[in-house]
Amino acid sequence: GTSFSELVMERRLDGAARDLRDPCCAARDIGSIAFDWGFSDLSHFTRRFKQRFGMRPRDWRAQLTAASR
């Protein structure tokens, strides 16, 4: 029951989430990662990310920093 557009959105969000957790991408800003995954509006990306993962992208990324301490 998933539409094509929903599937594409899930893949884009999953890719962005993976990049946000990747230590190799730690120096990249969140907006740049969102843009690379096809989002042109950072607030839309943040809203959709929070819907899917239950937290803002910045909090998602902060978990990586906290876990590496």
Q: What does each of the 69 residues of the chain score in pLDDT, given as a tens digit?
A: 889 999 999 999 999 999 999 999 999 999 999 999 999 999 999 999 999 999 999 999 998 767 666
Domains, in order of start, for the chain? 4-63 (1.10.10)
What is the pLDDT at residue 23?
A: 92
pTM: 0.89
20 with 61: CB under 8 angstroms?
yes
